[in-house]
Each structure stands twice: as C-alpha cells, then as structure tokens.
Amino acid sequence: YLLNCSNFLLLRSLSRGTTETAAAMRRTVEALLKHGAVVRNLENLGERTLPYKISKHNLRHTSGGYFLVDFDAPTTIIPTMLDHLGRDIDVIRPSILKHGIPETDETCPGKIQPNYEEKLHSRKK
C-alpha cells in the first residue's frame, strides 16, 4: 500500500554555496529511493529567516533553506525516514505529511433536478 506524501525539509543555511545544499538533497532523495519510494517532485521554496531560533546538532540556526519533496512510498518508510533525516547534520527540521486520498462515492448520481412541469400541472387540476 503506497501513501502519497510530502517531505518538508528545513536545511541549515550553508554559506559555502549550493553544492552542499545539493549534496544534502541528494542524500535525502537517495534514502527515499533506497527504501522503495517514488519521488514525484522536488521544489526549492527558497532561503528565509526562521520565525524563531532553532537549536539542532549543538548549533543555533536563524535562517535556513526550505524544500518540498513529493513522493509515493510504503507506510513503513515514514519512521525510518524521520530517523534518517533526524541524524543528518544539514537538516534542521524534517517533517513528512501524508496526503489523504479523497473518497469518492460512485453511487451518488449528483443533484437531481426537480420536475417543475409535473408540479405545475398537478396544481392546475
């Protein structure tokens, strides 16, 4: 059973350039693929100042890069990935959001329009 998920990552602000950021994202995507996930989309939301100071791995962070990775994965991958991302020194705050599959009721015919002609003729008699 596969879940449609989004991995929201907050990476530490890497001053030495984008190669370290790319390496951190590569590690994340490779870990997802190794555990059987199918990566659908990778989006860079940019670097911003954090809303509050976050301490992680004995460092205080005031800014960071925001990334969003959309993927489909088995349900068993989530605790493993959170553990993996929690140990990565470049990741400040990992979170995985599960997207629910919208339930559709196939038997519902929709809104049935009333027959106004029938009502009109029944009142005239």
64 contacts 13 by C-beta, under 8 angstroms: yes
Within 10 angstroms of residue 44's Cβ, the number of other Cβ atoms is 13
19 contacts 32 by C-beta, under 8 angstroms: no
- DSSP string spanning 32-48? HHHTT-EEEEEEEEEEE
10 contacts 64 by C-beta, under 8 angstroms: yes
70 contacts 6 by C-beta, under 8 angstroms: yes
Per-residue pLDDT of the chain (125 residues; tens, 9 = 90+): 677 888 888 888 866 567 888 888 899 999 999 998 999 999 988 888 888 898 888 888 888 889 899 998 888 888 999 999 999 888 888 888 887 665 555 666 667 777 777 777 766 55
